[in-house]
Structure 1
Amino acid sequence: MNTISTENFSPYCSPAILPQEPFNIYKKENPGSTVTFFNDSERDFYKMILIRNGEGILSVSHKEIPIQGNVLLFISPKVECVWRPLLETQIVYYCSFNREFMDLSLKNHRLAPSPFLEIGNNQVLDVTEEQIFYLQAVFEHMHREVQSDYVKKYDVLRNYIEIILHETLKINPQPPTLKLSNSAERICASFHNLLEQQYKIDIPDHIITLRCPQDYADRLMIHVNHLNKTLKKALGKNTTALIADRTAIEAKSLLLSTHWDISQIAYCLGFEHLSNFNRFFKKYYHMPPCELRSRSFHHAK
C-alpha cells in the first residue's frame, strides 16, 4: 500500500502550510492507504483520532493492535501512530493540538484532570453506534470551526475538546488518577493566581517580579520543595517548568500582538540579556523571536 501523511487529509489544515496553528483537525473518507499520524511539525502535539467503520491494524509505539468497528484514540506527544486500513469504507478524523493550546485551558483547571490527556497514557476506546454518531458530529463541528474567521474560535474548539473528554469518561469511566487534598488544591490555585498576575503585561515598563520557584514559595509561605512536589503530582510539571511554559506563551503573545522591541519584551519577562531570551524562545518554538514576528507579518499580508 502507498503511505499518505496527515498533509493529505485537508488542504486547509496542512501543518506545512500553517506551522503556527496551535490546533488542527483533518478528515479523510475512505483513506485506502496507510496513514501515519505523526510529522516533525506536530511532534509535540496531543492527538485525538476518531475512526468510523474501521477495520485494520493500528500501530502505537511499534505495538500492533487489531481494530474493527468504531474507535476513539488519545495519543501523547512524541508518540508515532500508524493506521493500516484493510477496508476502504471508513471515515477518519485526526485532531491535534499543541502544549500551548492545552496550557491555556489549564488556567481554568478544566482539562487538567482528564486521565486521557496525561503524557504516556495512550488510550484506544471502543465506541458504540450511538456514541459514534454524536462524536462524529462534534468532530464535524470542529472541522468547520477551525476554518472560520471567528476571533474566539480557539475558545470554541477548547470547549469541543472538553465535550469529547466528558463523552470519553462516559464510554470508559475511570476514577481520577490523582486525588488532591484540600491543601494541594489550595496550593495549585494560589500558584496559578500568582502566575497569572505576573503576566498581565500591557505596557513595556511592566516587569515580572516573581521569576523563580523560590519567589513563588516565599509568597505562598511554603517550602520550595513542597511547592515543587505538589505541582509535579497535580500537573505533571515542577514549578520551574510551569513558569517557563507561561513565559513562553506570554513571549509569543507579546511578539505577535505588540510592536515593542524584542529587547523590551525580553526585559519585561525577566531576561537581563537578549541572547538568553533568544535561546529560551528558540528552545520552545524552534525559531528565534525575530523569525516568528517576520513570519506573522508575511502571513498577515
Structure 2
Amino acid sequence: MKNENPQAKSLYELYLHLGLSVDLIQPSEGFAILNLKDINFKLPYQSPSFRPDYFSFLFVKNGQGKYTIDEHSFGVQQHSIYFTNPSNYRTFSWEKIEEIYLITFDETFLKQYINKDIFSEFPFLLTETISPKIVSDEFYSEVERVYLNIHNEYTNQSTDKYRIVGHLLAVMLYKIKAYFWKDYNPIYEGNRSSQIVKSFKRLLEKHYRDLIMGKTETVFRVQDYASAQNLHPNYLSNIIKTKTGKTVTTWIADKSISEAKSLLQNSSMSIKEITYRLGFSETAHFSNFFKKHTKTSPAQYRKEHSI
C-alpha cells in the first residue's frame, strides 16, 4: 500500500490505492454499491487518511467500526445510516463486518441520472451534520429494500442499468430527506459552513491585497481556495454557491473587476501595469474581460471616472 494520503475521485480509485479488492466495483459512471463483507477486509482494519471526491451512504445492518473526519470520531452501530460528502480528509476502521452496504456516487452521476439541479432538490447533500443516524427498525427495513434493489440492478448487465439505479437512488434520497432532513436548509445550518464562507472571503480579500501590493503575481483558482481549507474544490464550490448565491468563480471575477475599477479610478498605474497586477498575462485579455463585465473598456472607464 502506498504511503501518500490519496485524494480519490471514486471508490474504485480509493480501493485500488489502498490495495483492496476492486473486482466488484465498476470503474465507470461515478457510482458504486457493495456489501463490505465481500471485500474481505483483514480485520481489524484501519485506513490511512484520504479525501474523497464523492458522496457516500453507509447502511449498517450488522457491523462495528469508526469513522473520523477532522477531530470528530463516530462509532458505527447497527441500524445506523452514515452520510458523508466530498470535504475534508477522513479515516475509517472496521472491527466487525457482517452486513454493511456502502453506496458511493459523484456529482456528475447525480446530475446525469437524477436531476441537473440536484442540490436544490436535495439540499441535505451539502449538510455538515456528519454523525451517523440510528434509525427505527421500520425505516431501516424500508431503505434496505431499496438498496438491495439498487445492488441487484448494479450487478446486472442491462444497458439501462444506470438509469434504473438513478431512479432507485432518487427514491432512497427522497426517503432519507423525509426521515432526516424534511425542512433542512443549508443556509441556516451551523457554524462550519458559515466558517467556510468567512474563511473564503477573508482569503479572497487578502490575496487581492497581495496582488495589488505586488507580493504575488498569480490569481488563485478554485483549487487554491479549496486547498487553503483542506476542502475538495467541488465541495467548496457547492457550499459557497448555496450559502451566498454566487459561485467561487463569480466571486473571483467580481473581485477582479472591483479592484480593476479602483485602480483605474484612483491610481496612476498604467493599464498594462494593472493588467499584470491583477494576474492577467496580456492587456488584450484584461481589456476583453473588463469590457465583458462592465460593457466599457478600461481606458474609457478611466476617462469617465478619474478623479
TM-score with structure 1 length normalisation? 0.49
**Which structure would you say has the larger Rg?**
2
TM-score with structure 2 length normalisation? 0.48
Structure with the larger helix share: 2
